[in-house]
Every structure is written in structure tokens, then in C-alpha cells.
Amino acid sequence: MNSNIQTLINTLAEAHSLSLGQYQELIDVRCPEAAALLADKAVAERVKIYGKDVYVRGLIEISNICKNDCLYCGIRRSNKSCDRYRLSREQIMECAAEGYRLGFRTFVLQGGEDPYFTDDVLCDIVTEIKSQYPDCALTLSMGERSRESYALLRRAGADRYLLRHETADRAHYESLHPAEMSFDNRMRCLRDLRELGYQVGCGFMVGSPNQTSATLANDLKFIEDFKPDMCGIGPFIPHKDTPFKDHPAGTVELTCYLLSVIRLIHPPVLLPATTALGTIHPEGREMGIQAGANVVMPNLSPVSVRKKYELYDNKICTGEESAQCKDCLSARMESVGYHIVTDRGDVRRQNER
Ligand code: 5AD
Ligand code: FES
């Protein structure tokens, strides 16, 4: 390992900050020894704050109908081969009930930007889940909405919101999205969510088309500045019915490397080992945990719709019942010395350490 990179890693671990140029170098000159050193330091930070606990979030994919047309995404509106569905309120409540029985204390409602889910409809569902399960945290991942809408949902009881920034580089953002979507609105949403008192998650894909070490350095700097409570990163995986169908997938290697870097930038961050990571490698999620991640998100959606929520090709966990999915993940975590816990798993602020 060259001594430069060793110095960069030590600086990052101590100062939780690097310059843009240094982040870029950390990515460009990486080697297996550097990755191992970063992972060691990341795991040490994670264990100091969260021990060997892994938090589980029960993911309910409520609709694959989307008004957007992001170039990378399998449920984009131009994909005419996508078989569309929307869960009813009763179906969503059944998923939550099953999740509660299985020990989940966080539910994540995720979906495309489906106009059916107006503020009234979504607030009703949020209120009902929170009144039936007051000991649970409720996370929404329903895309870009107005500040007013985020405020109403927060008042109805939503605790957290996941909205990946996708890329902190404006030109790169524009190359991944159609002209009617805007980088500024994305950032506006994240700021509004923060100001409204949500625990906020941002994130990005690794290996998306046109991504470079310079665009990634911007992502890392953004994370350093924004200090998200959660950060979802996973490999880009092509979907056969999108314009990026022939682009290669991101790698486990770079994804795990960046998971370690992000843990060191902001040690208390809740960092999932994503389904996408488990899709490109059979032990991807275990590797993510060993690189510094501390969250997994088993699928609670009805098996009948799972295959339809296909953001990318070959997504795993589409045939298993919720209980199987949870047991499978439990066993996977145990196999690398970590344990799933039944807990809301709120972010620890720096002063709670
Ligand atoms: N590969 C990997 N991740 C994807 N996402 C969307 N499409 C893909 C893909 N092809 C991610 C985006 C989005 C999240 C819900 O899923 O980052 O924010
Ligand atoms: Fe879903 Fe293994 S985690 S089947």
C-alpha cells in the first residue's frame, strides 16, 4: 500500500473529513490492503457506537406506479413491459401486522411516485400504522413531494424519510434523469425533510453510467456536510427495459470500500447492506456488514407483487415469504458474528456515544 493512501485513511479516521481532491485520490489509488485497513477502522467505529447489533427494517413496496422516468430504473413510466400494481390500505396493514409478529419495529413504506398516494391517502395510512403500532418507527420512501406534503406526513406520525440524492454532481444528475427532474428540487426536498424534524436518509448508486471518482468525491463531500441519519448505497444494476440496459453493474469491491469510507466520515450513520449488494454477490450483504454497514432491510411485501417491484434485473428475495426472508438474513448475520435486534434502531447522535 502506498504511504500516501495510508496517510489519507488515518486523516479520514481522525478528522472525519478530507478535501474533494483527497476523496478522489482515496478512490483512484485504492488497493486491497487499503480496503482492509479502511474496513478495520470502519468496523471499530461501528462497534463503538452500535456494537455488533444489526437493525432490521421491514420493507413494504406499496406501488410500482411511477410518474418519473429516471433512466436507470426498471419501474420508470416509459417501461411498458412493467406489470403495474398498487397495494390497498388493507394489504399494507396486513404486511405491517405480519412484520410486527416477526419482530420488526420499523416499517418502511416505499414506492414509485404514484399520484394515487395523495397527502390524504398517505396520511391516513401513516396515522393508522402509528396508532396500531405506537412502539414502531415509520419510514417513508415515496420520492419527491412538496414541503407542505412532507409537513403533513410528519404531523401524521412519519418518523423518517429516505430519499437518495442519487448523485451530488449536477451534470451527472442530469445525465441520469430526464429534463423535467431537477437536482435543485432533489436537494430542496432533503433540506425540507431535515428542517421538518425527520431522520433523513440520502444515498447513491455505485457504478452508475457516467460516474467517475470526481462525481463520487462530490457524493462523499455532500455526506460530510449534510450528515444524514441514514445513507443507502448499493451497486447500480442494469435493467433490461431501460436505456442503461447494456451498462455494466457496479462492483461489490467499490461498494464495500465506500461503505467503509462513509462510516468513517459520519460514524453514527445508519448504513444498510442493500438488497442490490446481495443481488450482485451471494454474500454481498455479509460483506457490506463487515465493511461497516449496520442495517438490513428484509422484504415484507406480499409475495404476489415482489417480482413486479423490479428496479433492476435479477433482484433477490422475490420468491420468499417474509418469515423466510427474515430467518435467512438472521442466519447470514450470525454467520459473520453479528445479531439482528428487535428495536426501533434510531440513529445515535454523537453525544449519546
Ligand atoms: N440499480 C440499482 N439501484 C437502483 N435504483 C433504481 N434503479 C436502480 C438500478 N437499476 C435505486 C435508486 C433509487 C432506489 C429506490 O433504488 O437509487 O433511489
Ligand atoms: Fe430474503 Fe434471504 S434475505 S431470502
The alpha carbon of 260 is separated from its chain's Cα centroid by a whole number of angstroms, namely 15
Task: Write down the pLDDT at residue 353.
Answer: 45
Per the structure, the count of domains in the chain is 1
For ligand 2, the distance from its centroid to the CA atom of residue 109, given in whole angstroms, is: 19
For residues 29, 49, 250, 177, the Cα torsion angle rounded to the nearest 10 degrees is: -110
Q: Is the CB of 75 under 6 A from ligand 1?
A: no
Residue 231 lies in a domain: yes
Q: Is the CB of 234 under 6 A from ligand 1?
A: yes
Q: Is the CB of 108 under 6 A from ligand 1?
A: no
Question: Domain span at residue 243?
Answer: 3-348
Q: Which numbered atom of ligand 1 lies nearest the CA of 73?
A: 7
Task: Determine whether 162 is exposed, middle or buried from the number of CB atoms within 10 Å of its CB (0-12, 13-18, 19+).
Answer: buried
For ligand 2, the distance from its centroid to the CA atom of residue 97, given in whole angstroms, is: 19
What is the DSSP-derived secondary structure letter of residue 293? -
Residue 38 lies in a domain: yes
What is the DSSP-derived secondary structure letter of residue 148? H
For ligand 2, the distance from its centroid to the CA atom of residue 275, given in whole angstroms, is: 9
Residue 139 lies in a domain: yes
Task: Write down the pLDDT at residue 289.
Answer: 98
Per the prediction, the chain carries an average pLDDT of 97
CA distance readout (Å), 259 to 24, 232, 272, 323: 15, 9, 9, 28
Residue 263 lies in a domain: yes
Using a 6 Å CB cutoff, which residues line ligand 2? 298, 317, 320, 324-325, 328-329
DSSP class per residue in 70-96: -TT-TT-TT-TT----B--HHHHHHHH
Task: Write down the pLDDT at residue 215.
Answer: 98
- What stretches of the chain adopt beta strand conformation (E)? 53-56, 58-63, 106-111, 137-141, 160-162, 199-206, 230-235, 295-296, 339-341
Residue 353 lies in a domain: no
Give the neighbor-by-neighbor strand order of the sheet with 58-63.
Answer: 58-63, 106-111, 137-141, 160-162, 199-206, 230-235
Reading the chain (353 residues) residue by residue, the pLDDT tens digits are: 889 999 999 999 999 999 999 999 999 999 999 999 999 999 999 999 999 999 999 999 999 999 999 999 999 999 999 999 999 999 999 999 999 999 999 999 999 999 999 999 999 999 999 999 999 999 999 999 999 999 999 999 999 999 999 999 999 999 999 999 999 999 999 999 999 999 999 999 999 999 999 999 999 999 999 999 999 999 999 999 999 999 999 999 999 999 999 999 999 999 999 999 999 999 999 999 999 999 999 999 999 999 999 999 999 999 989 999 999 999 999 999 999 998 899 999 755 54
Please write the tens of the pLDDT for every residue from 203-231.
Answer: 999 999 999 999 999 999 999 999 999 99
Mutational test site, ligand 2, from 104, 285, 325, 334, max ligand atoms within 8 Å of CB: 325
- How many CB atoms are located within 10 Å of the residue 11 CB? 16
For ligand 2, the distance from its centroid to the CA atom of residue 329, given in whole angstroms, is: 6
Q: Is the CB of 177 under 6 A from ligand 1?
A: no
Query: Which candidate, 205, 207, 162, 209, places its Cα nearest to that of 186?
Result: 162
Q: Which numbered atom of ligand 1 lies nearest the CA of 166?
A: 17
Determine the Cα angle at 143 with ends 314 and 64, to 5°. 40
Determine the Cα angle at 300 with ends 111 and 296, to 5°. 90
Could you say which ligand is closest to the alpha carbon of residue 113?
A: 1
Query: Which candidate, 60, 63, 180, places its Cα nearest to that of 117?
Result: 63
Could you say which ligand is closest to the alpha carbon of residue 276?
A: 1
CATH number at residue 19: 3.20.20.70
Residue 186 lies in a domain: yes
340 pairs with which residues across the strands?
54
DSSP class per residue in 2-62: -HHHHHHHHHHHHHS---HHHHHHHHHT--HHHHHHHHHHHHHHHHHHHTTEEEE-EEEEE
Residue 308 lies in a domain: yes
Q: Is the CB of 280 under 6 A from ligand 1?
A: no
Q: Would you state the cell numbers that stand for residue 271, as one nine-digit string?
A: 448504513
Residue 62 lies in a domain: yes
pTM given for the model: 0.97
Q: Is the CB of 236 under 6 A from ligand 1?
A: yes
Determine which residue's CA is closest to atom 1 belonging to ligand 2: 325
Tell me the residue type at 324: Q
- How many CB atoms are located within 10 Å of the residue 144 CB? 16
Q: Is the CB of 136 under 6 A from ligand 1?
A: no
CA distance readout (Å), 201 to 160, 233, 269, 299: 8, 10, 9, 19
